[in-house]
Structure formats: structure tokens, C-alpha cells
Amino acid sequence: MPLENLERLVEKRLLSRHQPARRELENHLQVARQFLRAARLEGAPEIVRFSNLYDAAHAVALAGLKLAGFRAPDGEGNRQLTLGCVEHTLALRKGSAAALVEANRLRALMQYQGADIDVPESLLEALVAAVEDGIAEVSARLR
């Protein structure tokens, strides 16, 4: 995967280089699997499913970014940057990167603006696919 764009982000000090321990990556996968499982619980409200899928997607995106040798700094914008880099770090199906960006936008509206959001079923489905694909890829790369 081309990493030139990520190198430019390092030059701008938006990312830093990072060599993760295997256990660190395994922990991200474990978190992603647990949030995915929670999102699939029968009877879970849409907003709970969305929040769990968003957190699972972030964990997978973080694992992909770290596997590529980078990490976002702690603090404001971390999640947006991490999710925005996924198209450079993981080979997810078409539309997954856009779904992650949209999920981040909706989450920000909900959590920071107190907005009442409607999450389309299509976005939930896209998040499930992105998380499943990301878990499979990161797991395969760790073998």
C-alpha cells in the first residue's frame, strides 16, 4: 500500500512513527471484536449499535495505522485522522473509507453538538463490513 500520504502527515507532525508490540495490535483486535459483538446483540437500540460499530471501526483503523508504522497523537482530532488514514493502511472494500468518515461526522454531531442523529441502516451495514474486513486483514497480517 502506498504510504507517501502518511509520510507527508509525519512531516506535518499530524502523525508520528510507531513500532507497535504484537500484544498492542492483538488488544486492538480484541476490542474491535468485542464492540462488534456488542453491536450485534439482539434488541440493541440503533444508536448503541452505531456507537459500538464506530468504536470497533476505530480500533481496527488504529491497528492498521500502527501496522503501517504510524500513530496519531493523543488528543483532539485523533479519531478523525486515524479513520481518515484507513484507505492507506487497510485494503477494505470500496465505500468503507467513506463510511468511516461519515460515522465520525455523525458521532461528532451526537457527542459534541448534542444533535439527534438518524443513522441509516446502510451506514450500519457498511460499518459492519469495514470492521469485519479490517479484523480479517489485521489478523492475517499478524500470522
* Per-residue pLDDT band at 4 (split at 50, 70, 90): confident
Mean pLDDT, to the nearest integer, of 116-135? 96
Q: How far apart are CA 44 and CA 88, in angstroms?
A: 32
CATH class name, domain 4-142: mainly alpha
- CA separation for the pair 125, 50 (Å, rounded): 10
Give residue 1's pLDDT: 40
Q: What percent of the chain has pLDDT over 90?
A: 88
When pLDDT is averaged across residues 52-81 and rounded to a whole number, the result is 93
The neighbouring-strand residues paired with 17 are: 70
The stretch 28-42 carries a mean pLDDT of: 97
**How much is the pTM?**
0.93
Q: Which of 57, 143, 134, 133 is nearest to 100 (CA)?
A: 57
